[in-house]
A and B are shown apart, each in its own frame.
Chain A
Amino acid sequence: MGSTILETSKPLSTKQSVSGRRKKVISLAEAGQMLARCKTIHMTGSQLFDAPMALIREAIRAGATGLTLIPNVVTGMAFDLFIAAGRVDTCYVSYVGFEGLGLAPAFKRAGETKSIHIVEGDEPFVVLGTRAAASGLPFVAVPKHVYGATDIPKLNPYIHRIQDPYTGEEVYTIPPLKADVCILHAQQADEYGNTQCWGGNRQEPDKAKAADLVIVSTEELVSLDKTRENPDKTTLPGYLVDAVVHVPFGAHPTGSSQCYAYDEEHLRLYLELVGKGKEQEYLSKFVYDVRDHFDYMARIGTERLYRLRQVL
């Protein structure tokens, strides 16, 4: 019997790949539009380094509001600016402050006037909660000694005390901390999303996996060949990254690891203005009246920015 040749699959041809590999580079304004649709943000960077400040300013300009913020173990202006702009409903807390420069003024005031809701956490809560979300675990259990002597479980309704089914011991549970988006400032990324952080605390992959959407801002946008020179330095492989924005000095006024120091003078100006209740003055000058990131850099001044690159 003769058989009809049925085409089960199409023969391969490079013509099928005419559009090539998908590039992930978008503009800062486009990133702002994406952020304006998000409600829960996984924040990265520390109080003085690698905070995704340009993305935060853009999100504020684009109208992001009613936000829930999940921090890294330490955070500072990344939270405080969102709060100063009145965009925050809920803060998960581990540490919010400016270290030796002072307490976080908008966070402090909002905490005292109850204008934001605070989820009282700490290092194990945010790190293990992020880990749980990244791995798809229902929760993480920690031994009794971690929380048994602190007041944190009394203040945090998400921490539960349960019995360990294996040992019968009392343990505490931490829930997965998921977010709509993770925003991250890196030192190098390529068009396909492969991202290198030259600082950080290796929480970055967990943060990215714990969010539905990952937006990276980068000091340098490089070719794929540059990534391939040092694949062992890739912090986030591109499959974890949805969008890349090229933003030189995008961590300012915090520092960018191995690129530039934090701008202490500017941070002190922020602390002074917000501390005095003049946050609108700060926001007008450095967020609302700013045309784009290049205008922001112009307002800070080229000489000042390049001087920060001398201090490593």
Chain B
Amino acid sequence: MANIAHPGTDRYSMAELMVIEMARNMADCDGKVGVVGSAATLPMAAILLARLTVAPNLWWLCGDSGAINPTFDRLPETAAHSRNRVGAEGMNAMMDVLEMGLRADWGFGFQGGLQMDRYGNTNMIGIGPYNHIKVRGPGAVGTPWEISIERAYLFFWHHNPRIFVEKVDYITGPGFLEGGESRWKIAKPQAKGPAYVYTPISVMDFEEMSRRARLRSVHPGYTVDDVVKNTGFELVIPRTVPTTTPPTDEELDLLRTRVDRDGVLKNFRLTVG
């Protein structure tokens, strides 16, 4: 397991690259309402950056702090931090979040998991059979809302075959289930499901018909082989796979002066292998 906070360049960190790439793909969230939950340092940074650029009309609810559209320029370690209320436009209640999930009109959201399979199904319960669970996970929390979200963004701090598996041991976050149209036997039509998967070495999206995870780009310093080797299911690999566009000076400047003034992302631990 290699720590890749610094991808062989001093110009930017891998977490900064991930956040910038996440924000670039959030133009579709403009005007929508989204929520971040636990362990949300990367999504919080991406949302703040997107609001400064491609999605000025994006609304977001900052986890357990309850803050609506907070504007902090010091990236908190947790969405539950009471500091997140500073510069917010209002406060929401837990029930407001639930209601979006129950009605299935939740615009966008970010989720992770202990495991993810080729259809973007995720697991937070644990690893191994339930009566002899090998690794007990923290629990499902809000991940079941993956079924209700119009655009779900999945993100992971680690990229290895133990996380990206052939079959998740439990489904807590329902992605495309068994692929094809199977998701919509349960999901409402507007809840389109997982859009992108961000990992420390790649970005994935999902093939239109089969809904299988497809390699979209590989981060600078890594190869398609690195991704294949560290993914436990068979990825759809297009004929040409681009390198993730490195951060521009303007993107880095915005990120470091308006979003992450303390440089939390500069040494953020991400691993591969």
Q: How far is the CA of A199 from the CA of B63 in the complex (A)?
A: 12
Q: A8 vs B131: C-alpha distance in the bound complex, in angstroms?
A: 68
Known: A103-B138, A108-B136, A152-B172. A127 touches B78 (CB 8 A): no
Please choose the segment from A16-24, A59-67, A91-99, A270-278 that sits at the chain B interface, where 4 or more of its residues have CB less than 8 A away: A91-99
What interface size band does chain B fall in?
35 or more
Q: Quick one: given A128-B98, A151-B125, A201-B93, are A145 and B80 in contact (CB under 8 Å)? A: no
Which of the 9-residue segments A32-40, A116-124, A286-294, A298-306 touches chain B? A116-124
Query: Given contacts A48-B81, A94-B140, A122-B139, are A100 and B41 in contact (CB under 8 A)?
Result: yes
Flag whether A150 is at the interface (Cβ < 8 A): yes
| Cα–Cα distance between A100 and B143 once the two chains are bound (Å) | 17
CA distance A110 to B133 in the complex (A): 11
User: Counting CB contacts under 8 A, is B148 at the interface?
Assistant: yes
Question: Do B144 and A150 have beta carbons less than 8 Å apart?
Answer: yes
Contact A123 B82 (CB under 8 A): no
Instruction: State whether the Cβ of B241 lies closer than 8 Å to any Cβ in chain A.
Output: no
- Nearest CB in chain B to that of A122: its residue: B140
Q: How far is the CA of A217 from the CA of B140 in the complex (A)?
A: 29
Indicate whether A49 reaches chain B with its CB closer than 8 angstroms. yes
| B32 interface residue (CB < 8 Å to A) | no
B100, chain A: closest CB distance, angstroms: 12
**Chain B min CB distance to A93 (Å):** 4
Q: Quick one: given A47-B80, A145-B191, are A73 and B144 in contact (CB under 8 Å)? A: no
Interface string of A204-215 (1 = CB under 8 A from B): 000000000000
Q: Are A112 and B187 in contact (CB under 8 A)?
A: no
Contact digits for A123-163, partner B, Cβ 8 Å, 1 yes 0 no: 11001100100000000001111111111100100000000
Contacting residues, chain A, for B177 (C-beta < 8 A): 149
B142 and A123 within 8 A (CB): yes
Chief secondary structure at chain B's binding surface? loop
Cβ A99 vs Cβ B187 within 8 A? no
CB distance from A2 to the nearest CB of B (A): 65
Tell me, in angstroms, the Cα distance from A312 to B65 when the chains sit together.
13
Q: Interface 1/0s, chain B 199-211, versus A by CB < 8 A? A: 0000000000000
A73 near B104: Cβ-Cβ < 8 Å: no
Contact code string B92-117 (vs A, CB < 8 Å = 1, else 0): 01110110011010000000000000
Answer whether residue B70 sits at the interface, using C-beta atoms and an 8 A cutoff.
Answer: no
User: Any chain A CB within 8 A of the CB of B237?
Assistant: no
- The listed residue with most B CB atoms (<10 A of its CB), out of A147, A199, A312, is A199
Q: Does A255 contact B (CB under 8 A)?
A: yes
A74 to B138, CA, bound (A): 9
- Interface membership of chain B positions 120-139, coded 1 if the CB is closer than 8 angstroms to chain A and 0 otherwise: 00001110001101111111
Residue of B nearest to A101 (CB): B77
8 Å CB contact of B140 from A49, A110, A121, A198 = A121
| 6 chain-A/chain-B pairs, Cβ below 8 angstroms | A93-B139, A99-B78, A110-B136, A127-B95, A149-B171, A149-B186
